[in-house]
Structure 1
Amino acid sequence: MSLQAPDATHWNDLAASYDRVMGNVPQMHALFQEIVSHIQPDTATILDLGAGTGNLLIQAARARPQAALLALDPAPAMLERLREKVPEDVALTTLIGSAHAIDLPDHSVDTIISNYALHHLTHADKRVCAQEVLRVLKPGGKFIYGDQHCRRMGGPEDPAWVADMYDLLSSKALHYLRTAGLDRMLLQVELIPKFLRADGEMPVPVEYWVSALEDAGFPPPLVVEMDPAPLLNRVIVATKPRAS
Protein backbone atom coordinates (compact mmCIF):
# COMPACT_ATOMS: atom_id res chain seq x y z
CA MET A 1 0.00 0.00 0.00
CA SER A 2 1.54 3.23 -1.13
CA LEU A 3 1.17 6.80 -0.04
CA GLN A 4 2.85 8.45 -2.98
CA ALA A 5 0.91 10.80 -5.24
CA PRO A 6 -1.84 9.04 -7.25
CA ASP A 7 -0.09 9.57 -10.59
CA ALA A 8 3.22 8.25 -9.25
CA THR A 9 2.28 5.19 -7.25
CA HIS A 10 3.15 1.77 -8.66
CA TRP A 11 0.52 0.14 -6.47
CA ASN A 12 -2.20 0.72 -9.07
CA ASP A 13 -0.43 -1.98 -11.11
CA LEU A 14 -0.39 -4.40 -8.17
CA ALA A 15 -4.03 -4.10 -7.14
CA ALA A 16 -5.12 -7.23 -9.03
CA SER A 17 -2.41 -9.46 -7.53
CA TYR A 18 -2.02 -7.92 -4.08
CA ASP A 19 -4.51 -10.11 -2.23
CA ARG A 20 -3.20 -13.29 -3.84
CA VAL A 21 0.38 -12.51 -2.79
CA MET A 22 -0.35 -11.09 0.65
CA GLY A 23 -3.45 -13.02 1.66
CA ASN A 24 -1.61 -15.93 3.29
CA VAL A 25 1.19 -14.04 5.01
CA PRO A 26 0.94 -14.97 8.71
CA GLN A 27 2.94 -11.95 9.88
CA MET A 28 0.46 -9.62 8.20
CA HIS A 29 -2.54 -11.29 9.81
CA ALA A 30 -0.83 -11.03 13.20
CA LEU A 31 -0.45 -7.28 12.64
CA PHE A 32 -4.13 -6.99 11.68
CA GLN A 33 -5.22 -8.79 14.84
CA GLU A 34 -3.02 -6.67 17.08
CA ILE A 35 -4.21 -3.43 15.51
CA VAL A 36 -7.90 -4.36 15.74
CA SER A 37 -7.50 -5.41 19.38
CA HIS A 38 -6.71 -1.79 20.32
CA ILE A 39 -9.80 -0.24 18.68
CA GLN A 40 -12.14 1.09 21.36
CA PRO A 41 -15.43 -0.87 21.56
CA ASP A 42 -17.58 2.27 21.19
CA THR A 43 -15.71 3.79 18.25
CA ALA A 44 -18.07 5.39 15.73
CA THR A 45 -15.65 6.22 12.90
CA ILE A 46 -12.55 4.38 11.67
CA LEU A 47 -10.14 5.91 9.15
CA ASP A 48 -7.59 3.63 7.46
CA LEU A 49 -4.53 5.45 6.07
CA GLY A 50 -3.18 3.61 3.04
CA ALA A 51 -6.15 1.26 3.08
CA GLY A 52 -5.15 -0.58 -0.09
CA THR A 53 -7.58 -3.37 -0.92
CA GLY A 54 -9.16 -3.12 2.52
CA ASN A 55 -7.90 -6.21 4.32
CA LEU A 56 -7.26 -4.41 7.62
CA LEU A 57 -10.35 -2.22 7.36
CA ILE A 58 -12.60 -5.21 6.72
CA GLN A 59 -11.29 -6.93 9.85
CA ALA A 60 -11.85 -3.74 11.82
CA ALA A 61 -15.42 -3.55 10.49
CA ARG A 62 -16.13 -7.11 11.59
CA ALA A 63 -14.92 -6.30 15.10
CA ARG A 64 -16.72 -2.93 15.27
CA PRO A 65 -19.78 -3.31 13.00
CA GLN A 66 -21.35 -0.10 14.28
CA ALA A 67 -18.50 2.05 12.96
CA ALA A 68 -18.57 4.11 9.77
CA LEU A 69 -15.51 3.40 7.64
CA LEU A 70 -13.23 5.81 5.80
CA ALA A 71 -10.51 4.49 3.48
CA LEU A 72 -7.72 6.77 2.23
CA ASP A 73 -5.25 5.64 -0.43
CA PRO A 74 -3.51 7.32 -3.39
CA ALA A 75 -4.12 4.34 -5.71
CA PRO A 76 -7.62 4.41 -7.26
CA ALA A 77 -7.25 0.78 -8.39
CA MET A 78 -6.70 -0.31 -4.80
CA LEU A 79 -9.77 1.56 -3.60
CA GLU A 80 -11.86 0.09 -6.42
CA ARG A 81 -10.87 -3.40 -5.27
CA LEU A 82 -11.74 -2.42 -1.69
CA ARG A 83 -15.22 -1.28 -2.70
CA GLU A 84 -15.81 -4.61 -4.44
CA LYS A 85 -15.00 -6.49 -1.24
CA VAL A 86 -16.97 -4.44 1.30
CA PRO A 87 -20.66 -5.43 1.69
CA GLU A 88 -23.12 -2.89 0.33
CA ASP A 89 -24.77 -2.37 3.72
CA VAL A 90 -21.49 -1.16 5.29
CA ALA A 91 -21.08 2.62 5.58
CA LEU A 92 -17.90 3.26 3.56
CA THR A 93 -16.33 6.45 2.25
CA THR A 94 -13.23 6.26 0.04
CA LEU A 95 -10.76 9.11 -0.32
CA ILE A 96 -7.96 9.39 -2.88
CA GLY A 97 -5.06 11.12 -1.19
CA SER A 98 -2.03 10.94 1.08
CA ALA A 99 -1.66 10.51 4.84
CA HIS A 100 0.35 13.72 5.12
CA ALA A 101 -2.59 15.78 3.77
CA ILE A 102 -5.80 14.22 5.11
CA ASP A 103 -8.84 15.91 3.57
CA LEU A 104 -11.04 15.66 6.67
CA PRO A 105 -12.10 18.21 9.29
CA ASP A 106 -10.40 18.70 12.63
CA HIS A 107 -11.53 16.39 15.44
CA SER A 108 -13.71 14.28 13.11
CA VAL A 109 -12.53 10.66 13.57
CA ASP A 110 -12.56 8.36 16.61
CA THR A 111 -9.90 5.88 15.45
CA ILE A 112 -7.18 6.01 12.81
CA ILE A 113 -5.57 2.74 11.75
CA SER A 114 -2.84 1.90 9.25
CA ASN A 115 -0.71 -1.08 8.29
CA TYR A 116 2.34 -1.38 6.05
CA ALA A 117 1.63 1.99 4.45
CA LEU A 118 3.27 4.94 6.16
CA HIS A 119 6.84 3.82 5.46
CA HIS A 120 6.14 4.98 1.90
CA LEU A 121 6.08 8.61 3.07
CA THR A 122 9.26 10.67 2.97
CA HIS A 123 10.78 11.16 6.39
CA ALA A 124 9.66 14.79 6.47
CA ASP A 125 6.13 13.79 5.47
CA LYS A 126 6.04 11.18 8.24
CA ARG A 127 6.29 14.05 10.72
CA VAL A 128 3.60 15.99 8.88
CA CYS A 129 1.45 12.84 8.96
CA ALA A 130 1.80 12.67 12.75
CA GLN A 131 0.52 16.24 12.96
CA GLU A 132 -2.36 15.45 10.59
CA VAL A 133 -3.35 12.40 12.63
CA LEU A 134 -3.48 14.51 15.81
CA ARG A 135 -5.54 17.16 14.02
CA VAL A 136 -8.13 14.75 12.60
CA LEU A 137 -8.59 12.62 15.73
CA LYS A 138 -11.20 13.51 18.30
CA PRO A 139 -9.92 14.12 21.84
CA GLY A 140 -9.31 10.70 23.37
CA GLY A 141 -9.14 9.08 19.93
CA LYS A 142 -6.53 6.48 19.03
CA PHE A 143 -3.95 6.11 16.27
CA ILE A 144 -3.04 2.43 15.81
CA TYR A 145 -0.26 1.91 13.32
CA GLY A 146 1.46 -1.31 12.23
CA ASP A 147 4.45 -1.32 9.90
CA GLN A 148 7.89 -2.65 9.11
CA HIS A 149 10.83 -0.71 10.51
CA CYS A 150 14.60 -0.69 10.13
CA ARG A 151 17.56 -0.61 12.50
CA ARG A 152 19.14 2.74 11.72
CA MET A 153 18.59 6.03 9.94
CA GLY A 154 20.47 6.68 6.74
CA GLY A 155 20.19 6.71 2.99
CA PRO A 156 21.64 5.47 -0.30
CA GLU A 157 24.67 7.73 0.05
CA ASP A 158 25.74 5.82 3.21
CA PRO A 159 27.37 2.44 2.36
CA ALA A 160 27.00 1.22 5.95
CA TRP A 161 23.25 1.92 5.86
CA VAL A 162 22.91 0.19 2.47
CA ALA A 163 24.73 -2.89 3.78
CA ASP A 164 22.59 -3.02 6.92
CA MET A 165 19.37 -2.61 4.93
CA TYR A 166 20.38 -5.31 2.46
CA ASP A 167 21.11 -7.70 5.31
CA LEU A 168 17.72 -6.98 6.88
CA LEU A 169 15.77 -7.22 3.61
CA SER A 170 17.43 -10.39 2.36
CA SER A 171 16.83 -12.06 5.72
CA LYS A 172 13.18 -11.06 5.46
CA ALA A 173 12.95 -12.55 1.98
CA LEU A 174 14.20 -15.92 3.20
CA HIS A 175 11.84 -15.80 6.17
CA TYR A 176 8.89 -15.13 3.85
CA LEU A 177 9.89 -18.07 1.67
CA ARG A 178 9.69 -20.37 4.70
CA THR A 179 6.49 -18.95 6.15
CA ALA A 180 4.46 -17.37 3.33
CA GLY A 181 5.67 -18.93 0.08
CA LEU A 182 7.62 -18.07 -3.04
CA ASP A 183 5.37 -15.25 -4.29
CA ARG A 184 5.80 -13.25 -1.08
CA MET A 185 9.54 -13.83 -1.17
CA LEU A 186 9.76 -12.68 -4.79
CA LEU A 187 7.79 -9.51 -4.01
CA GLN A 188 10.29 -8.76 -1.26
CA VAL A 189 13.21 -9.37 -3.62
CA GLU A 190 11.59 -7.22 -6.32
CA LEU A 191 11.27 -4.32 -3.88
CA ILE A 192 14.82 -4.48 -2.48
CA PRO A 193 16.24 -1.98 -5.04
CA LYS A 194 13.47 0.49 -4.16
CA PHE A 195 14.34 0.20 -0.45
CA LEU A 196 18.06 0.65 -1.11
CA ARG A 197 17.42 3.71 -3.30
CA ALA A 198 14.79 5.07 -0.85
CA ASP A 199 12.47 5.13 -3.85
CA GLY A 200 9.00 5.02 -2.28
CA GLU A 201 10.15 2.44 0.31
CA MET A 202 11.52 4.37 3.30
CA PRO A 203 11.16 2.61 6.66
CA VAL A 204 12.63 4.20 9.77
CA PRO A 205 13.52 2.91 13.24
CA VAL A 206 10.44 2.78 15.46
CA GLU A 207 12.01 5.49 17.61
CA TYR A 208 11.60 7.93 14.72
CA TRP A 209 7.83 7.49 14.77
CA VAL A 210 7.71 7.73 18.55
CA SER A 211 9.57 11.04 18.33
CA ALA A 212 7.33 12.32 15.51
CA LEU A 213 4.16 11.53 17.45
CA GLU A 214 5.44 13.08 20.67
CA ASP A 215 6.59 16.20 18.82
CA ALA A 216 3.10 16.46 17.28
CA GLY A 217 1.53 16.48 20.75
CA PHE A 218 0.80 12.86 21.64
CA PRO A 219 1.84 11.41 25.00
CA PRO A 220 4.46 8.65 24.78
CA PRO A 221 2.84 5.89 22.70
CA LEU A 222 2.69 2.17 23.36
CA VAL A 223 4.99 0.12 21.11
CA VAL A 224 4.14 -3.56 20.61
CA GLU A 225 6.96 -5.77 19.29
CA MET A 226 5.61 -8.42 16.95
CA ASP A 227 7.03 -11.89 16.39
CA PRO A 228 9.39 -12.77 14.91
CA ALA A 229 11.44 -9.91 16.31
CA PRO A 230 14.05 -9.80 13.47
CA LEU A 231 11.38 -8.68 10.98
CA LEU A 232 11.07 -5.44 12.98
CA ASN A 233 7.29 -5.35 12.63
CA ARG A 234 5.84 -3.09 15.31
CA VAL A 235 2.42 -1.73 16.27
CA ILE A 236 2.35 1.79 17.69
CA VAL A 237 -0.67 2.93 19.71
CA ALA A 238 -0.98 6.65 20.40
CA THR A 239 -3.91 8.31 22.18
CA LYS A 240 -4.81 11.95 21.63
CA PRO A 241 -5.10 13.87 24.89
CA ARG A 242 -8.59 14.82 25.98
CA ALA A 243 -9.42 18.50 26.13
CA SER A 244 -8.61 19.94 29.55
Structure 2
Amino acid sequence: MDISLSEFGMERWSGKVALVTGANSGIGAAVTRRLLKLGLIVVALDRNIELLQEWATKDGSFGQLYPRQCDLCNENEVLETFRWIETCLGGVDILVNNAGVTGQNSLIEGNPDEWKHLLDVNVVALCLCTKEAVASMRRRNAKYGHIFNLCSTLAHMVHPFGPLHFYAATKHAVSALTDGLRQELTEVNTRIRVTSISPGLVKSNIFKTCLGPDIHETVYKKPSLDPSDVASAIEYALSSPTHVQVNEIVIKPMESLA
Protein backbone atom coordinates (compact mmCIF):
# COMPACT_ATOMS: atom_id res chain seq x y z
CA MET A 1 0.00 0.00 0.00
CA ASP A 2 1.47 3.33 -1.09
CA ILE A 3 0.77 5.91 1.64
CA SER A 4 2.38 9.33 1.82
CA LEU A 5 4.06 10.52 4.99
CA SER A 6 1.34 13.16 5.38
CA GLU A 7 -1.09 10.33 6.13
CA PHE A 8 0.76 9.59 9.38
CA GLY A 9 1.27 11.42 12.65
CA MET A 10 -0.16 14.60 14.10
CA GLU A 11 1.23 16.99 11.47
CA ARG A 12 -1.95 16.86 9.41
CA TRP A 13 -3.93 18.25 12.36
CA SER A 14 -1.76 21.33 12.95
CA GLY A 15 -3.92 24.45 12.78
CA LYS A 16 -7.15 22.45 12.57
CA VAL A 17 -10.13 23.22 14.80
CA ALA A 18 -11.13 20.92 17.66
CA LEU A 19 -14.27 21.31 19.77
CA VAL A 20 -14.19 19.84 23.28
CA THR A 21 -17.30 19.69 25.47
CA GLY A 22 -17.14 19.67 29.25
CA ALA A 23 -13.70 21.23 28.95
CA ASN A 24 -13.34 23.17 32.19
CA SER A 25 -12.20 20.25 34.37
CA GLY A 26 -11.16 16.61 34.50
CA ILE A 27 -10.83 14.74 31.22
CA GLY A 28 -12.07 17.70 29.17
CA ALA A 29 -9.40 20.01 30.57
CA ALA A 30 -6.65 17.43 30.00
CA VAL A 31 -7.77 16.84 26.41
CA THR A 32 -7.97 20.59 25.77
CA ARG A 33 -4.42 21.13 27.01
CA ARG A 34 -3.09 18.20 25.00
CA LEU A 35 -4.68 19.36 21.75
CA LEU A 36 -3.38 22.89 22.25
CA LYS A 37 0.10 21.52 22.88
CA LEU A 38 -0.16 19.58 19.62
CA GLY A 39 -0.84 22.78 17.68
CA LEU A 40 -4.61 22.64 17.25
CA ILE A 41 -7.07 25.50 17.64
CA VAL A 42 -9.42 24.48 20.45
CA VAL A 43 -12.94 25.71 21.14
CA ALA A 44 -13.62 24.63 24.72
CA LEU A 45 -17.23 24.45 25.93
CA ASP A 46 -18.60 24.31 29.44
CA ARG A 47 -21.25 25.97 31.57
CA ASN A 48 -18.46 27.21 33.84
CA ILE A 49 -15.42 28.45 31.92
CA GLU A 50 -13.47 30.11 34.73
CA LEU A 51 -10.39 27.86 34.36
CA LEU A 52 -10.52 28.05 30.57
CA GLN A 53 -10.65 31.84 30.65
CA GLU A 54 -7.63 31.88 32.97
CA TRP A 55 -5.70 29.75 30.48
CA ALA A 56 -6.78 31.91 27.55
CA THR A 57 -5.36 35.05 29.17
CA LYS A 58 -1.86 33.66 29.72
CA ASP A 59 -0.27 35.54 26.79
CA GLY A 60 -0.87 32.76 24.31
CA SER A 61 1.12 30.22 26.31
CA PHE A 62 -1.80 27.81 25.97
CA GLY A 63 -2.04 28.25 22.20
CA GLN A 64 -5.17 29.24 20.32
CA LEU A 65 -7.84 28.58 22.92
CA TYR A 66 -11.39 29.87 22.61
CA PRO A 67 -13.46 29.29 25.77
CA ARG A 68 -17.21 29.34 25.10
CA GLN A 69 -19.86 29.25 27.80
CA CYS A 70 -22.56 26.88 26.62
CA ASP A 71 -25.37 24.89 28.20
CA LEU A 72 -25.43 21.70 26.15
CA CYS A 73 -29.05 21.13 27.18
CA ASN A 74 -29.99 24.34 25.35
CA GLU A 75 -30.29 23.55 21.64
CA ASN A 76 -30.10 27.20 20.59
CA GLU A 77 -26.84 27.74 22.49
CA VAL A 78 -25.30 24.67 20.88
CA LEU A 79 -26.36 25.74 17.39
CA GLU A 80 -25.12 29.28 17.98
CA THR A 81 -21.74 27.88 19.03
CA PHE A 82 -21.40 25.96 15.77
CA ARG A 83 -22.45 29.03 13.77
CA TRP A 84 -19.77 31.05 15.56
CA ILE A 85 -17.13 28.42 14.77
CA GLU A 86 -18.13 28.40 11.09
CA THR A 87 -18.01 32.19 10.87
CA CYS A 88 -14.87 32.84 12.91
CA LEU A 89 -12.75 29.72 12.52
CA GLY A 90 -14.03 28.02 9.37
CA GLY A 91 -15.55 24.90 10.86
CA VAL A 92 -14.96 21.88 13.10
CA ASP A 93 -12.39 19.21 12.21
CA ILE A 94 -12.33 17.27 15.48
CA LEU A 95 -15.16 16.84 17.98
CA VAL A 96 -14.57 15.44 21.46
CA ASN A 97 -17.92 14.64 23.07
CA ASN A 98 -16.64 14.58 26.63
CA ALA A 99 -19.37 16.27 28.72
CA GLY A 100 -21.24 13.91 31.01
CA VAL A 101 -23.08 13.75 34.30
CA THR A 102 -24.08 10.97 36.65
CA GLY A 103 -27.13 10.67 38.89
CA GLN A 104 -27.64 10.64 42.64
CA ASN A 105 -30.24 7.92 42.98
CA SER A 106 -30.81 4.26 42.24
CA LEU A 107 -33.47 3.31 39.71
CA ILE A 108 -36.10 2.52 42.34
CA GLU A 109 -35.44 5.79 44.17
CA GLY A 110 -34.85 7.99 41.11
CA ASN A 111 -37.09 10.50 39.41
CA PRO A 112 -37.87 11.55 35.82
CA ASP A 113 -36.20 14.96 36.14
CA GLU A 114 -32.85 13.35 36.96
CA TRP A 115 -33.22 10.74 34.21
CA LYS A 116 -34.11 13.39 31.64
CA HIS A 117 -31.10 15.49 32.63
CA LEU A 118 -28.73 12.55 32.19
CA LEU A 119 -30.25 11.77 28.81
CA ASP A 120 -30.06 15.42 27.72
CA VAL A 121 -26.37 15.79 28.58
CA ASN A 122 -24.99 12.30 27.96
CA VAL A 123 -27.03 11.33 24.90
CA VAL A 124 -29.06 14.11 23.23
CA ALA A 125 -26.34 16.79 23.41
CA LEU A 126 -23.79 14.30 22.13
CA CYS A 127 -26.02 13.54 19.14
CA LEU A 128 -26.68 17.21 18.41
CA CYS A 129 -23.00 18.17 18.56
CA THR A 130 -22.14 15.21 16.37
CA LYS A 131 -24.78 16.10 13.79
CA GLU A 132 -23.52 19.68 13.54
CA ALA A 133 -19.85 18.65 13.43
CA VAL A 134 -20.48 16.11 10.67
CA ALA A 135 -22.43 18.72 8.69
CA SER A 136 -19.51 21.16 9.05
CA MET A 137 -17.00 18.57 7.85
CA ARG A 138 -19.13 17.50 4.90
CA ARG A 139 -19.93 21.06 3.79
CA ARG A 140 -16.22 21.76 3.47
CA ASN A 141 -15.34 18.35 2.04
CA ALA A 142 -12.81 18.14 4.85
CA LYS A 143 -9.98 15.76 3.99
CA TYR A 144 -9.69 14.70 7.61
CA GLY A 145 -12.31 14.58 10.34
CA HIS A 146 -12.51 12.75 13.64
CA ILE A 147 -15.25 12.37 16.25
CA PHE A 148 -14.55 11.04 19.73
CA ASN A 149 -17.29 9.87 22.07
CA LEU A 150 -16.23 9.59 25.69
CA CYS A 151 -17.93 6.43 26.75
CA SER A 152 -17.08 4.26 29.77
CA THR A 153 -16.28 0.73 30.83
CA LEU A 154 -19.82 0.94 32.26
CA ALA A 155 -21.04 0.71 28.65
CA HIS A 156 -19.90 -2.93 28.77
CA MET A 157 -21.18 -3.95 32.18
CA VAL A 158 -23.66 -3.03 34.91
CA HIS A 159 -21.99 -1.98 38.15
CA PRO A 160 -23.76 -3.09 41.37
CA PHE A 161 -23.78 0.51 42.74
CA GLY A 162 -27.39 1.71 42.27
CA PRO A 163 -26.76 5.42 41.51
CA LEU A 164 -24.66 4.36 38.51
CA HIS A 165 -27.37 2.29 36.85
CA PHE A 166 -29.06 5.00 34.82
CA TYR A 167 -25.68 6.54 34.01
CA ALA A 168 -24.52 3.14 32.72
CA ALA A 169 -27.65 2.96 30.56
CA THR A 170 -26.74 6.28 28.93
CA LYS A 171 -23.23 4.97 28.22
CA HIS A 172 -24.67 1.79 26.67
CA ALA A 173 -26.65 4.18 24.45
CA VAL A 174 -23.49 6.10 23.53
CA SER A 175 -21.81 2.84 22.53
CA ALA A 176 -24.73 1.93 20.24
CA LEU A 177 -24.90 5.44 18.79
CA THR A 178 -21.17 5.40 18.04
CA ASP A 179 -21.49 2.18 16.05
CA GLY A 180 -24.56 3.53 14.25
CA LEU A 181 -22.78 6.77 13.36
CA ARG A 182 -19.81 4.87 11.97
CA GLN A 183 -22.15 2.84 9.74
CA GLU A 184 -23.93 5.97 8.47
CA LEU A 185 -20.68 7.78 7.67
CA THR A 186 -19.48 4.74 5.72
CA GLU A 187 -22.75 4.65 3.77
CA VAL A 188 -22.36 8.28 2.64
CA ASN A 189 -18.71 7.68 1.72
CA THR A 190 -16.98 10.12 4.06
CA ARG A 191 -13.48 9.90 5.50
CA ILE A 192 -14.66 10.94 8.96
CA ARG A 193 -13.38 8.58 11.63
CA VAL A 194 -15.26 7.77 14.83
CA THR A 195 -13.63 6.50 18.02
CA SER A 196 -15.20 5.51 21.31
CA ILE A 197 -13.00 5.98 24.37
CA SER A 198 -14.07 3.81 27.31
CA PRO A 199 -12.04 4.56 30.43
CA GLY A 200 -12.45 2.94 33.79
CA LEU A 201 -12.29 5.03 36.94
CA VAL A 202 -10.67 8.42 36.22
CA LYS A 203 -9.62 11.01 38.79
CA SER A 204 -12.21 13.79 38.44
CA ASN A 205 -14.87 15.59 40.45
CA ILE A 206 -17.86 13.81 38.91
CA PHE A 207 -18.61 11.78 42.05
CA LYS A 208 -18.03 14.72 44.38
CA THR A 209 -20.40 16.87 42.31
CA CYS A 210 -23.18 14.31 42.03
CA LEU A 211 -22.80 12.06 45.08
CA GLY A 212 -20.93 14.17 47.63
CA PRO A 213 -17.42 14.21 49.15
CA ASP A 214 -17.85 11.03 51.20
CA ILE A 215 -18.57 8.88 48.15
CA HIS A 216 -15.80 10.71 46.27
CA GLU A 217 -13.23 9.81 48.94
CA THR A 218 -14.41 6.19 49.10
CA VAL A 219 -14.34 5.68 45.34
CA TYR A 220 -10.81 7.01 44.90
CA LYS A 221 -9.32 4.58 47.37
CA LYS A 222 -9.39 2.23 44.37
CA PRO A 223 -6.86 2.27 41.50
CA SER A 224 -7.71 5.01 39.03
CA LEU A 225 -6.55 6.69 35.84
CA ASP A 226 -5.34 10.24 35.36
CA PRO A 227 -7.23 12.44 32.87
CA SER A 228 -3.99 12.71 30.88
CA ASP A 229 -4.22 8.97 30.18
CA VAL A 230 -7.44 9.61 28.26
CA ALA A 231 -5.83 12.52 26.42
CA SER A 232 -3.02 10.17 25.37
CA ALA A 233 -5.56 7.71 23.96
CA ILE A 234 -7.12 10.48 21.88
CA GLU A 235 -3.69 11.55 20.63
CA TYR A 236 -2.95 7.95 19.64
CA ALA A 237 -6.16 7.63 17.61
CA LEU A 238 -5.61 10.99 15.92
CA SER A 239 -2.05 10.10 14.95
CA SER A 240 -2.90 6.71 13.45
CA PRO A 241 -2.67 6.40 9.64
CA THR A 242 -5.75 7.67 7.82
CA HIS A 243 -6.55 4.22 6.46
CA VAL A 244 -6.84 2.95 10.06
CA GLN A 245 -10.13 3.16 11.97
CA VAL A 246 -9.60 2.92 15.72
CA ASN A 247 -13.11 1.89 16.70
CA GLU A 248 -12.72 1.74 20.44
CA ILE A 249 -10.09 2.16 23.13
CA VAL A 250 -10.78 0.64 26.54
CA ILE A 251 -8.48 1.92 29.30
CA LYS A 252 -8.34 0.54 32.81
CA PRO A 253 -5.98 1.18 35.70
CA MET A 254 -3.71 -1.71 36.58
CA GLU A 255 -5.21 -4.01 39.22
CA SER A 256 -8.72 -2.82 38.39
CA LEU A 257 -11.54 -5.17 37.42
CA ALA A 258 -13.95 -2.41 36.28
The TM-score with structure 2 as length reference comes to 0.46
The structure that is strand-richer by fraction is 1
Which is higher, the Rg of structure 1 or of structure 2? 2
The TM-score with structure 1 as length reference comes to 0.48
